[in-house]
Amino acid sequence: MSNEVNRMRIAWFTPLSTRSAIGEFSVHVTAELAKLANVEIWTSDEPPYHATDLTVVGYSGNSVDLNVLDHREVIIYNMGDYLPFHGHMHSVARRYPGVVILHDRVLHHLYAGMWLTETEQLPQAYVERMRMYYGHAGEKVARESLEGKRQPVWECDEEVLRYPLYEEAIVNARGVVTHSERQAAEIRQKWWGPVSSLHLPCYHEALRRVDDTFTKPPDGRIHIVTVGHVNPNKQIHRVVGLIAADEELAKRVHYTVVGPDDGFLDYVSDLRRLVDRHSDRVSIEILGWRPHDELEELMAKADLFVNLRYPSMEGSSASLMQQLAYARPVLCFDTGFFGELPDDAVARVQAGDFGQAAVTLKELVQDSGRRRRIGERGRQVAASYDERSYAAGLINVIQQSRHATPALSFVDSVAQELGHMQVDDRLPIFDEIAGDFGRVLTL
């Protein structure tokens, strides 16, 4: 009884739609976390949801009294770069600060969408935040984007990486979790609160299912698979190009692209035309979205995965963890979380070096022993990143967060008052206060 009373109450904000990978992550992690604390899941999504045994609170309408959050010891926000899943969440996070799990390195599309949509035209908010976080350069590109004087920032991967806007999600946070140490280090440079990097887990359930489906009917060709939303960032057109350009690869591999194409219809059309042009020489299929069972079957048939995100805009990759579970090598760039895995757990080449990617791909196709060694090591690494260790890491973050909350609350109060006075970093007081806080909070 007393244990029950003393257990921490956690409100876990997340997308829960079956279309959301973050939703899937949430049900796995909260199931472990619920062994250590009282957890309820808050979502603004409409059903169908990922299945969970925990209480689910829908908060998109006015039916829920958000004041109950005052009685939760910890609030955790799972932030990603997708407005329909994370827009409401951001509004709540502003009122009820909590620990923010950053699932993406870039949240520019979320916030640009929030401030620039037809229903909520706040272009000045967009310009102001770009100035606040990135100075004059940020303000300039924001203005020019809005005035049509340049390609909008939000349409260019390199630009959104330069102006990721994740700062907006953490500005009043009580703790931050990333899935990449590089990202955590970057955030520590500009934010005082506790920042931790936790490995995105490879779900037990996924490992077990892989064991059950781990068969590969031989059909003569090496099966290469790319999984996930089909968009230019995954560089699928480059992979098609390098297969088509190499006679041996063209003859020996079958390349499957599986995943939804929402939002990038032009790209997918171009991709299909590209494949058609080479259809007499290559074996490539673009399948679009597939049900979970079918997806798993496709992945089980793979000999290797290609996951060449460039530039990398995610904190980590749930699909990468899933691919590692299949004990198949993953060809990836040395960027983001991909660059932080042990050297022998993936087949990694320098970010953006497609020539080297082609060489490595060919070597993997030719060398089954190398494929097996990398694949087995990858699975071993993935198995060590499980939900239990993630939940334990989170508890540690929560403890740090609770320790830091009084100081962070005070910083927020000062920031709020300075905001009312419209004082910003153009006045000396800003740096003086920042310096004072820096000294006090690091004592």
The answer to whether 93 and 102 have CB atoms below 8 angstroms apart is: no
421 scored as a contact of other proteins (CB under 8 A)? yes
The least distance separating other proteins from the CB of residue 76, rounded to whole angstroms, comes to: 30
Strand partners, 76: 12, 99
CA-to-CA dists, residue 177 to 174, 187, 348, 381, angstroms: 10, 10, 25, 20
Ramachandran sector of residue 309 (left: φ over 0; alpha: ψ -120 to 50; beta: rest): beta
Instruction: Rank residues 422 and 442 by Cβ distance to other proteins and give the closer one.
Output: 422
> Which of helix, strand or coil describes residue 101?
strand
429 scored as a contact of other proteins (CB under 8 A)? yes
Instruction: Rank residues 217 and 428 by Cβ distance to other proteins and give the closer one.
Output: 428
Applying CB under 8 A, which part among 14-22, 107-115, 118-126, 419-427 lies near other proteins? 419-427
Instruction: Rank residues 68 and 429 by Cβ distance to other proteins and give the closer one.
Output: 429
The least distance separating other proteins from the CB of residue 124, rounded to whole angstroms, comes to: 15
Residue from 217, 428, 439, 443 in contact with other proteins (CB under 8 A): 428
440 scored as a contact of other proteins (CB under 8 A)? no
The least distance separating other proteins from the CB of residue 422, rounded to whole angstroms, comes to: 4
Instruction: Rank residues 190 and 420 by Cβ distance to other proteins and give the closer one.
Output: 420
The least distance separating other proteins from the CB of residue 425, rounded to whole angstroms, comes to: 11
Residues between 87 and 146 that touch other proteins (CB under 8 A): none
Say how far residue 111 (Cα) sits from the centre of its chain. 15
Instruction: Rank residues 289 and 437 by Cβ distance to other proteins and give the closer one.
Output: 437
The least distance separating other proteins from the CB of residue 432, rounded to whole angstroms, comes to: 8
Residue from 36, 64, 407, 418 in contact with other proteins (CB under 8 A): 418
423 scored as a contact of other proteins (CB under 8 A)? yes
The count of chain residues that interact with other proteins, using the rule CB under 8 A, is: 13
Applying CB under 8 A, which part among 71-79, 101-109, 348-356, 416-424 lies near other proteins? 416-424
CA gap 315, 317 in Å, rounded: 7
Instruction: Rank residues 35 and 136 by Cβ distance to other proteins and give the closer one.
Output: 136
One-letter amino acid at 235 equals Q
Tally Cβ neighbours within 10 Å of residue 225: 24
Tally Cβ neighbours within 10 Å of residue 262: 13
413 scored as a contact of other proteins (CB under 8 A)? yes
One-letter amino acid at 12 equals W
CA gap 397, 412 in Å, rounded: 20
The answer to whether 232 and 240 have CB atoms below 8 angstroms apart is: no
Applying CB under 8 A, which part among 56-64, 223-231, 343-351, 425-433 lies near other proteins? 425-433
Applying CB under 8 A, which part among 18-26, 140-148, 342-350, 423-431 lies near other proteins? 423-431
Structure tokens at 153: 């920032």
Nearest to 320 by CA among 297, 294, 289, 347: 347
CA gap 337, 357 in Å, rounded: 18
CA-to-CA dists, residue 401 to 195, 225, 265, 363, angstroms: 9, 40, 42, 47
Which positions lie near other proteins, rule CB under 8 A? 413-414, 417-418, 420-423, 426-429, 433
